[in-house]
Protein backbone atom coordinates (compact mmCIF):
# COMPACT_ATOMS: atom_id res chain seq x y z
CA UNK A 1 0.00 0.00 0.00
CA UNK A 2 1.37 3.40 -0.93
CA UNK A 3 1.74 5.79 1.96
CA UNK A 4 1.30 9.51 1.44
CA UNK A 5 3.45 11.60 3.76
CA UNK A 6 2.43 15.14 4.60
CA UNK A 7 5.61 16.99 5.50
CA UNK A 8 7.02 20.42 4.94
CA UNK A 9 9.48 20.59 2.05
CA UNK A 10 12.19 23.17 2.45
CA UNK A 11 14.84 24.13 -0.05
CA UNK A 12 18.08 22.32 0.74
CA UNK A 13 20.11 25.39 0.06
CA UNK A 14 23.71 25.57 1.20
CA UNK A 15 24.37 27.92 4.06
CA UNK A 16 27.64 29.43 5.20
CA UNK A 17 29.34 28.20 8.35
CA UNK A 18 28.58 31.55 9.96
CA UNK A 19 24.83 31.19 9.31
CA UNK A 20 24.76 27.73 10.87
CA UNK A 21 26.83 28.51 13.93
CA UNK A 22 25.51 31.90 15.02
CA UNK A 23 23.45 32.06 18.21
CA UNK A 24 20.08 33.74 18.74
CA UNK A 25 19.94 37.31 17.47
CA UNK A 26 20.02 40.10 20.03
CA UNK A 27 16.62 41.33 21.17
CA UNK A 28 15.58 44.96 21.26
CA UNK A 29 16.94 45.45 24.79
CA UNK A 30 20.37 43.96 24.10
CA UNK A 31 21.65 40.48 25.02
CA UNK A 32 20.49 37.37 23.29
CA UNK A 33 17.34 36.87 25.33
CA UNK A 34 17.53 33.16 24.52
CA UNK A 35 17.44 30.08 26.65
CA UNK A 36 20.76 29.18 28.20
CA UNK A 37 22.07 26.22 30.12
CA UNK A 38 21.60 28.20 33.35
CA UNK A 39 17.83 28.27 33.15
CA UNK A 40 15.03 30.52 31.92
CA UNK A 41 15.36 34.13 32.97
CA UNK A 42 13.53 37.32 32.02
CA UNK A 43 14.58 38.89 28.70
CA UNK A 44 17.57 41.23 29.16
CA UNK A 45 16.39 44.73 29.85
CA UNK A 46 12.92 43.45 30.69
CA UNK A 47 11.16 43.92 34.00
CA UNK A 48 9.28 40.63 34.22
CA UNK A 49 6.05 39.91 32.36
CA UNK A 50 4.76 43.46 31.84
CA UNK A 51 3.80 45.11 28.53
CA UNK A 52 7.39 46.10 27.71
CA UNK A 53 8.63 42.55 28.18
CA UNK A 54 5.83 41.18 26.01
CA UNK A 55 6.57 43.76 23.32
CA UNK A 56 10.23 42.75 23.34
CA UNK A 57 9.27 39.13 22.78
CA UNK A 58 6.98 40.05 19.90
CA UNK A 59 9.54 42.26 18.16
CA UNK A 60 12.44 39.78 18.34
CA UNK A 61 13.43 38.74 14.78
CA UNK A 62 12.58 35.10 14.06
CA UNK A 63 15.36 32.57 13.57
CA UNK A 64 16.02 31.44 9.99
CA UNK A 65 13.74 28.60 8.91
CA UNK A 66 15.37 25.23 9.53
CA UNK A 67 18.33 26.62 11.46
CA UNK A 68 19.56 24.91 14.61
CA UNK A 69 19.03 27.51 17.32
CA UNK A 70 22.15 27.79 19.42
CA UNK A 71 22.72 29.52 22.75
CA UNK A 72 25.64 29.68 25.15
CA UNK A 73 25.46 28.66 28.80
CA UNK A 74 26.33 31.27 31.39
CA UNK A 75 29.59 30.62 33.16
CA UNK A 76 30.50 27.48 31.20
CA UNK A 77 30.72 28.58 27.56
CA UNK A 78 28.88 25.40 26.55
CA UNK A 79 26.65 25.76 23.51
CA UNK A 80 23.15 24.28 23.41
CA UNK A 81 21.08 23.24 20.42
CA UNK A 82 17.65 21.73 19.85
CA UNK A 83 17.59 17.97 19.35
CA UNK A 84 16.53 17.95 15.73
CA UNK A 85 13.34 19.98 15.51
CA UNK A 86 12.11 18.89 18.91
CA UNK A 87 12.04 21.30 21.84
CA UNK A 88 14.70 19.40 23.81
CA UNK A 89 17.87 21.46 24.39
CA UNK A 90 21.10 19.46 24.53
CA UNK A 91 24.73 20.46 24.92
CA UNK A 92 26.48 20.39 21.55
CA UNK A 93 29.14 18.20 23.17
CA UNK A 94 27.84 15.13 24.98
CA UNK A 95 29.57 12.35 26.90
CA UNK A 96 29.48 8.78 25.66
CA UNK A 97 30.08 6.00 28.19
CA UNK A 98 31.46 3.22 26.00
CA UNK A 99 35.05 4.23 26.80
CA UNK A 100 34.64 6.19 30.04
CA UNK A 101 32.54 3.62 31.90
CA UNK A 102 34.01 0.52 30.28
CA UNK A 103 35.85 -2.31 31.97
CA UNK A 104 39.27 -0.63 31.52
CA UNK A 105 38.36 2.53 33.48
CA UNK A 106 37.99 2.70 37.27
CA UNK A 107 34.76 3.93 38.86
CA UNK A 108 36.70 6.80 40.46
CA UNK A 109 37.95 8.00 37.08
CA UNK A 110 34.46 7.66 35.62
CA UNK A 111 33.05 9.83 38.41
CA UNK A 112 35.76 12.44 37.86
CA UNK A 113 34.97 12.59 34.15
CA UNK A 114 31.21 12.84 34.69
CA UNK A 115 31.66 15.57 37.32
CA UNK A 116 33.95 17.65 35.11
CA UNK A 117 31.55 17.24 32.19
CA UNK A 118 28.53 18.36 34.20
CA UNK A 119 30.39 21.32 35.74
CA UNK A 120 31.43 22.44 32.25
CA UNK A 121 27.83 22.48 30.99
CA UNK A 122 27.57 19.03 29.39
CA UNK A 123 23.99 17.83 29.92
CA UNK A 124 23.83 14.87 27.51
CA UNK A 125 25.06 11.48 28.76
CA UNK A 126 24.75 8.53 26.40
CA UNK A 127 24.91 4.84 27.28
CA UNK A 128 23.55 1.48 26.07
CA UNK A 129 22.41 -1.82 27.51
CA UNK A 130 25.32 -3.56 25.78
CA UNK A 131 28.15 -1.33 27.08
CA UNK A 132 30.40 -3.45 29.30
CA UNK A 133 27.51 -5.93 29.61
CA UNK A 134 25.43 -3.42 31.58
CA UNK A 135 28.26 -2.13 33.80
CA UNK A 136 28.26 1.27 32.08
CA UNK A 137 24.60 1.84 32.98
CA UNK A 138 25.12 0.68 36.57
CA UNK A 139 28.16 2.92 37.03
CA UNK A 140 26.37 5.91 35.52
CA UNK A 141 23.34 5.29 37.74
CA UNK A 142 25.46 5.00 40.90
CA UNK A 143 27.28 8.25 40.16
CA UNK A 144 24.09 10.17 39.38
CA UNK A 145 22.52 8.90 42.59
CA UNK A 146 25.53 9.93 44.70
CA UNK A 147 25.75 13.37 43.10
CA UNK A 148 22.13 14.26 43.71
CA UNK A 149 21.95 16.51 40.66
CA UNK A 150 18.46 17.67 39.66
CA UNK A 151 16.99 15.12 37.28
CA UNK A 152 15.62 17.95 35.16
CA UNK A 153 19.13 19.34 34.58
CA UNK A 154 20.56 16.49 32.46
CA UNK A 155 19.58 14.24 29.57
CA UNK A 156 20.12 10.47 29.71
CA UNK A 157 19.98 8.34 26.58
CA UNK A 158 20.33 4.60 26.20
CA UNK A 159 20.25 2.18 23.29
CA UNK A 160 18.34 -1.08 22.92
CA UNK A 161 19.27 -4.08 20.79
CA UNK A 162 21.97 -6.28 22.37
CA UNK A 163 20.68 -7.24 25.82
CA UNK A 164 21.61 -10.85 26.45
CA UNK A 165 22.30 -14.29 25.00
CA UNK A 166 18.73 -15.53 24.58
CA UNK A 167 16.90 -14.91 21.30
CA UNK A 168 14.31 -12.83 23.13
CA UNK A 169 17.00 -10.66 24.74
CA UNK A 170 18.11 -8.97 21.56
CA UNK A 171 16.62 -7.23 18.59
CA UNK A 172 13.77 -4.74 18.40
CA UNK A 173 10.73 -6.87 19.14
CA UNK A 174 8.07 -5.26 21.30
CA UNK A 175 9.06 -7.69 24.06
CA UNK A 176 12.74 -6.73 24.06
CA UNK A 177 12.18 -2.98 23.64
CA UNK A 178 9.93 -2.93 26.71
CA UNK A 179 11.86 -5.43 28.85
CA UNK A 180 15.26 -4.16 27.73
CA UNK A 181 14.37 -0.57 28.58
CA UNK A 182 13.02 -1.59 32.00
CA UNK A 183 16.31 -3.41 32.62
CA UNK A 184 18.27 -0.29 31.67
CA UNK A 185 16.15 1.84 34.01
CA UNK A 186 16.79 -0.59 36.84
CA UNK A 187 20.56 -0.41 36.30
CA UNK A 188 20.42 3.38 35.92
CA UNK A 189 18.19 3.69 39.01
CA UNK A 190 15.97 6.10 37.09
CA UNK A 191 12.25 6.30 36.48
CA UNK A 192 12.72 7.21 32.81
CA UNK A 193 15.31 8.00 30.17
CA UNK A 194 15.05 11.10 28.04
CA UNK A 195 15.74 9.26 24.77
CA UNK A 196 15.72 5.57 23.93
CA UNK A 197 17.51 4.64 20.71
CA UNK A 198 16.91 1.61 18.53
CA UNK A 199 20.55 0.53 18.26
CA UNK A 200 20.61 -0.55 14.57
CA UNK A 201 17.68 -1.69 12.48
CA UNK A 202 16.16 -5.15 12.83
CA UNK A 203 15.26 -6.89 9.54
CA UNK A 204 13.55 -9.66 11.52
CA UNK A 205 11.01 -7.29 13.07
CA UNK A 206 8.20 -5.42 11.25
CA UNK A 207 8.65 -1.66 11.30
CA UNK A 208 5.12 -1.17 12.59
CA UNK A 209 5.93 -3.26 15.68
CA UNK A 210 9.06 -1.18 16.41
CA UNK A 211 7.22 2.15 16.08
CA UNK A 212 4.28 0.91 18.17
CA UNK A 213 6.62 -0.36 20.90
CA UNK A 214 8.52 2.93 21.01
CA UNK A 215 5.23 4.82 21.18
CA UNK A 216 4.12 2.55 24.05
CA UNK A 217 7.25 3.14 26.20
CA UNK A 218 6.83 6.90 25.69
CA UNK A 219 3.13 6.79 26.58
CA UNK A 220 4.00 4.76 29.68
CA UNK A 221 6.51 7.40 30.80
CA UNK A 222 9.55 5.11 30.45
CA UNK A 223 11.09 7.46 27.85
CA UNK A 224 10.37 10.96 26.60
CA UNK A 225 11.62 10.63 23.01
CA UNK A 226 12.93 7.88 20.77
CA UNK A 227 15.49 7.81 18.06
CA UNK A 228 17.47 5.54 15.78
CA UNK A 229 21.12 4.53 15.68
CA UNK A 230 22.94 3.19 12.63
CA UNK A 231 19.75 3.26 10.56
CA UNK A 232 19.71 4.04 6.87
CA UNK A 233 17.86 7.09 5.58
CA UNK A 234 15.21 4.91 3.91
CA UNK A 235 14.58 3.02 7.18
CA UNK A 236 14.20 6.27 9.14
CA UNK A 237 11.78 7.54 6.51
CA UNK A 238 9.81 4.29 6.74
CA UNK A 239 9.52 4.65 10.53
CA UNK A 240 8.35 8.24 10.13
CA UNK A 241 5.79 7.20 7.50
CA UNK A 242 4.51 4.41 9.75
CA UNK A 243 4.14 6.83 12.65
CA UNK A 244 2.19 9.30 10.54
CA UNK A 245 -0.01 6.58 9.03
CA UNK A 246 -1.12 5.15 12.39
CA UNK A 247 -0.94 8.33 14.51
CA UNK A 248 2.11 7.07 16.43
CA UNK A 249 5.24 8.88 17.65
CA UNK A 250 8.06 9.28 15.09
CA UNK A 251 11.81 9.29 15.88
CA UNK A 252 13.44 12.65 16.61
CA UNK A 253 17.08 11.94 15.75
CA UNK A 254 19.60 9.48 14.40
CA UNK A 255 22.88 8.52 16.07
CA UNK A 256 25.50 8.18 13.36
CA UNK A 257 29.24 7.73 13.04
CA UNK A 258 30.86 10.91 11.76
CA UNK A 259 34.45 12.05 11.53
CA UNK A 260 36.98 13.34 9.04
CA UNK A 261 37.07 9.99 7.25
CA UNK A 262 33.37 9.06 7.49
CA UNK A 263 31.26 11.78 5.92
CA UNK A 264 28.64 10.57 3.42
CA UNK A 265 25.71 9.85 5.72
CA UNK A 266 25.86 12.89 8.02
CA UNK A 267 26.75 15.39 5.32
CA UNK A 268 24.61 14.16 2.42
CA UNK A 269 21.70 12.03 3.69
CA UNK A 270 20.73 13.28 7.15
CA UNK A 271 20.45 17.02 6.35
CA UNK A 272 17.66 16.18 3.90
CA UNK A 273 15.81 14.23 6.60
CA UNK A 274 16.34 17.12 9.01
CA UNK A 275 14.68 19.58 6.64
CA UNK A 276 11.89 17.27 5.50
CA UNK A 277 10.79 15.52 8.70
CA UNK A 278 12.77 17.21 11.50
CA UNK A 279 15.07 14.29 12.35
CA UNK A 280 18.34 15.65 13.76
CA UNK A 281 21.72 14.01 14.30
CA UNK A 282 23.71 13.01 17.36
CA UNK A 283 27.10 11.88 16.10
CA UNK A 284 29.74 9.67 17.68
CA UNK A 285 33.33 8.65 17.06
CA UNK A 286 34.74 12.11 16.20
CA UNK A 287 38.22 10.70 16.92
CA UNK A 288 37.97 7.12 15.58
CA UNK A 289 40.12 4.88 17.78
CA UNK A 290 42.35 7.87 18.47
CA UNK A 291 43.50 7.93 14.84
CA UNK A 292 42.77 11.66 14.61
CA UNK A 293 45.08 12.67 17.44
CA UNK A 294 48.46 12.19 15.74
CA UNK A 295 49.49 10.09 18.76
CA UNK A 296 50.12 6.94 16.72
CA UNK A 297 52.39 8.34 14.03
CA UNK A 298 52.71 4.95 12.35
CA UNK A 299 53.18 2.96 15.57
CA UNK A 300 51.14 1.78 18.55
CA UNK A 301 52.38 3.13 21.92
CA UNK A 302 52.19 0.80 24.93
CA UNK A 303 49.94 3.29 26.76
CA UNK A 304 47.15 3.46 24.17
CA UNK A 305 44.00 1.36 23.93
CA UNK A 306 45.20 -0.48 20.82
CA UNK A 307 47.83 -2.26 22.93
CA UNK A 308 45.27 -3.61 25.45
CA UNK A 309 44.32 -7.28 25.32
CA UNK A 310 41.09 -7.71 23.37
CA UNK A 311 41.75 -4.66 21.17
CA UNK A 312 43.74 -6.44 18.46
CA UNK A 313 41.15 -5.22 15.95
CA UNK A 314 42.09 -1.65 16.81
CA UNK A 315 45.79 -2.36 16.45
CA UNK A 316 45.14 -3.97 13.08
CA UNK A 317 43.13 -0.95 11.98
CA UNK A 318 45.88 1.47 12.97
CA UNK A 319 48.52 -0.55 11.14
CA UNK A 320 46.42 -1.24 8.02
CA UNK A 321 46.99 0.56 4.72
CA UNK A 322 43.88 2.69 5.24
CA UNK A 323 45.00 3.48 8.80
CA UNK A 324 48.40 4.64 7.61
CA UNK A 325 46.84 6.81 4.88
CA UNK A 326 44.51 8.40 7.41
CA UNK A 327 47.39 9.11 9.78
CA UNK A 328 49.23 10.81 6.92
CA UNK A 329 46.17 13.00 6.30
CA UNK A 330 46.10 13.86 10.02
CA UNK A 331 49.70 15.04 9.81
CA UNK A 332 48.70 17.26 6.88
CA UNK A 333 46.17 18.94 9.18
CA UNK A 334 48.77 19.90 11.78
CA UNK A 335 49.59 23.29 10.13
CA UNK A 336 45.88 24.19 10.12
CA UNK A 337 45.59 23.27 13.80
CA UNK A 338 48.71 25.28 14.65
CA UNK A 339 47.33 28.28 12.76
CA UNK A 340 44.15 28.12 14.85
CA UNK A 341 46.09 27.55 18.07
CA UNK A 342 44.53 24.15 18.82
CA UNK A 343 45.25 20.43 18.71
CA UNK A 344 44.24 18.22 15.80
CA UNK A 345 41.72 16.52 18.09
CA UNK A 346 40.06 19.85 18.93
CA UNK A 347 40.02 20.76 15.24
CA UNK A 348 38.39 17.44 14.33
CA UNK A 349 35.67 17.78 16.98
CA UNK A 350 34.89 21.38 15.99
CA UNK A 351 34.77 20.28 12.35
CA UNK A 352 32.08 17.71 13.27
CA UNK A 353 30.06 20.36 15.11
CA UNK A 354 29.82 22.60 12.07
CA UNK A 355 27.83 20.04 10.04
CA UNK A 356 24.24 20.93 9.26
CA UNK A 357 21.58 19.32 11.44
CA UNK A 358 24.06 18.02 14.05
CA UNK A 359 22.63 18.62 17.51
CA UNK A 360 25.44 17.09 19.56
CA UNK A 361 28.76 15.27 19.18
CA UNK A 362 29.44 12.50 21.71
CA UNK A 363 32.93 12.40 23.22
CA UNK A 364 34.64 9.25 24.41
CA UNK A 365 37.41 9.97 26.92
CA UNK A 366 39.42 8.00 29.46
CA UNK A 367 40.35 10.85 31.84
CA UNK A 368 39.15 14.23 33.05
CA UNK A 369 42.23 15.87 31.52
CA UNK A 370 41.40 14.45 28.12
CA UNK A 371 37.82 15.68 28.45
CA UNK A 372 38.93 19.22 29.27
CA UNK A 373 41.16 19.24 26.19
CA UNK A 374 38.31 18.07 23.97
CA UNK A 375 35.93 20.67 25.40
CA UNK A 376 38.36 23.24 24.04
CA UNK A 377 36.90 22.48 20.61
CA UNK A 378 34.14 24.98 21.44
CA UNK A 379 36.65 27.83 21.12
CA UNK A 380 37.81 26.47 17.77
CA UNK A 381 34.28 26.30 16.39
CA UNK A 382 33.96 30.06 15.90
CA UNK A 383 37.24 30.10 13.94
CA UNK A 384 36.08 27.59 11.33
CA UNK A 385 35.40 30.02 8.52
CA UNK A 386 34.24 28.79 5.09
CA UNK A 387 37.79 29.34 3.85
CA UNK A 388 39.24 27.14 6.62
CA UNK A 389 36.69 24.40 5.94
CA UNK A 390 37.57 24.52 2.24
CA UNK A 391 41.26 24.20 3.11
CA UNK A 392 40.52 21.13 5.27
CA UNK A 393 38.41 19.60 2.48
CA UNK A 394 41.27 20.13 0.06
CA UNK A 395 43.73 18.36 2.36
CA UNK A 396 41.39 15.43 3.02
CA UNK A 397 40.24 15.04 -0.58
CA UNK A 398 37.13 13.11 0.45
CA UNK A 399 34.29 15.63 0.44
CA UNK A 400 31.09 13.80 -0.56
CA UNK A 401 29.10 15.13 -3.50
CA UNK A 402 25.45 14.73 -4.38
CA UNK A 403 24.68 11.90 -6.80
CA UNK A 404 21.64 13.71 -8.17
Looking at the annotation, which residues are catalytic? Answer: 131
Residue 236 near residue 228, CB atoms below 8 Å: yes
To the nearest 10 degrees (0 to 180), the angle between helices 344-353 and 386-396 is: 110
Residue 124 near residue 91, CB atoms below 8 Å: yes
C-alpha span between 195 and 360 (Å, rounded): 14
If phi over 0 gives left and psi between -120 and 50 gives alpha, with beta otherwise, what is residue 58? alpha
User: Among the residues of 70-194, which ranges form H helices?
Assistant: 97-100, 107-119, 135-147, 174-188
Q: Which residues contact 257 (CB under 8 A, 6 or more apart)?
A: 230, 265, 283, 284, 285, 288
C-alpha span between 66 and 7 (Å, rounded): 13
Please write down the HEC assignment for all residues of 308-359. Answer: CCCCHHHHHHHHCHHHHHHHHHHHHHHHHHHHHCCCHHHHHHHHHHCCCCEE
Amino acid sequence: MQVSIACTEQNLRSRSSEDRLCGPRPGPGGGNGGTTGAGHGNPPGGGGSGPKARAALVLRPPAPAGALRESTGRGTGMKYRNLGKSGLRVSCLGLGTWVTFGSQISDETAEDVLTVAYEHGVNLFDTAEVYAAGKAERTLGNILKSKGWRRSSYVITTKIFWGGQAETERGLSRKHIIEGLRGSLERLQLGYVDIVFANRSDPNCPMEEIVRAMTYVINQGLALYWGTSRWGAAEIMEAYSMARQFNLIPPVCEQAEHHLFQREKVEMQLPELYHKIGVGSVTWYPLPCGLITSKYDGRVPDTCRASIKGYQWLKDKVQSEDGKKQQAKVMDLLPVAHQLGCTVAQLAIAWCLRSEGVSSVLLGVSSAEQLIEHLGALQVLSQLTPQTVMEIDGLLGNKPHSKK
